[in-house]
Amino acid sequence: MNDAPMAPGSRVVIAGASGMIGSAVRRSLTADGYEVVRLVRRAPRGQDEIQWDPEAGRIDAGALAGAAAVLNFAGAGVASRRWTDAYKERIRCSRVLGTATLAKAVASLDEGPRVFVNGSAIGFYGDTGGRAVDETTPAGDGFLPSLCVEWEGAADPVREAGVRTVFVRTGLVVARKGGAWGKLFPLFKAGLGGRMGDGGQYWSFIALHDEVAAIRHVLDTDSLSGPVNLTAPDPLTNREITEAMGRVLHRPTFFATPAPALRLALGEMAGDILGSQRVLPTRLLSSGFTFAFPTIDAALRSALR
């Protein structure tokens, strides 16, 4: 495989193009001259939109013809609200059914895309404590690991059709708006930030800039398929990240949220915040990718610019 980049002007279809990651990837591709087409639930407003109903399994497969790449980042926010049984089912359906709908449509094409990139998450590994894990590590136990296994499995039709399929298992994205840091920045700027629980749990982070660059790298690297961890090369503990937040923002970090309080406020989702995931981007690094913002201080300053 020659790992030659897609030529500017190539057609790229994106599901979830209005989310934090999807919108950033769309801007990057558009700026470089690619023809980006978005999947939308409402009626299309232009030639750059295709309507679909992911959970009902409805999409015009013919509208995907000619795409060099199809990217799927669609899904309800994992940390958007408390994990009731109903919301957990919404999280699951939005990812699994949406992926299945898109995968079946792509697999039905006479000539499929060069690559299918499907969102996933480091939640696949579950709570790994202080043990470092990479793409060779099996799935953990719990809601998020089982969700990720089902989510990735829903793309089987594309993989079986011979299309190169990549699962980008994303860590905690450091961005000014959206994701975990979209909620953390206001607290720390107000001087109300602090560690969560005992602060010893590992947080595997990645700057939004590097997240987009890594996805672009995956698109253009034909030797990459299967799971690829999108995390910075040196995961840190929540305590270390808290110290970095105070250092970069020039704010005190005296406040701490005890584990029982987090469990009371967030319910089952607190386990994801208090759990430890020391995830390494082994396949990304071995494929030649270079991080622009590999440290937490650099990632924070990048997000604040």
Please report which confidence band the pLDDT of residue 261 belongs to, taking 50, 70 and 90 as the band edges: low
Domain-embedded: residue 2: no
Total domain count, the chain = 1
Domain-embedded: residue 4: no
> Per residue, what are the HEC states of the chain?
CCCCCCCCCCEEEEECCCCHHHHHHHHHHHHCCCEEEEEECCCCCCCCEEEEEHHHCEECHHHHCCCCEEEECCCCCCCCCCCCHHHHHHHHHHHHHHHHHHHHHHHCCCCCCCEEEEEEEHHHHCCCCCCEECCCCCCCCCHHHHHHHHHHHCCHHHHHCCCEEEEEEECEEECCCCHHHHHHHHHHHCCCCCCECCCCCEECEEEHHHHHHHHHHHHHCCCCCEEEEECCCCCEEHHHHHHHHHHHHCCCCCCCECHHHHHHHHHHHHHHHHCCCEECCHHHHHCCCCCCCCCHHHHHHHHHC
Domain-embedded: residue 128: yes
What pTM did the predictor assign?
Answer: 0.94
Model pLDDT, residue 275: 86
Tell me the CATH number at 15. 3.40.50.720
Mean pLDDT of 226-254: 96
Model pLDDT, residue 262: 62
Please report which confidence band the pLDDT of residue 257 belongs to, taking 50, 70 and 90 as the band edges: confident
Domain-embedded: residue 1: no
Condensed to tens digits (0 to 9), the pLDDT of residues 102-154 reads: 999 999 999 999 999 999 999 999 999 999 999 999 999 999 999 999 999 99
Model pLDDT, residue 269: 61
Give the domain range for residue 251: 11-304
Domain-embedded: residue 5: no
Condensed to tens digits (0 to 9), the pLDDT of residues 169-206 reads: 999 999 999 888 888 899 899 998 889 899 999 999 99
Domain-embedded: residue 191: yes
Model pLDDT, residue 270: 61
Question: Would you say residue 1 has pLDDT above 50?
Answer: no
Task: Express as a percent the part of the chain with pLDDT over 90.
Answer: 81
Average pLDDT score over the chain? 93
Domain-embedded: residue 6: no
Condensed to tens digits (0 to 9), the pLDDT of residues 35-74 reads: 999 999 999 999 999 999 998 999 999 999 999 999 999 9
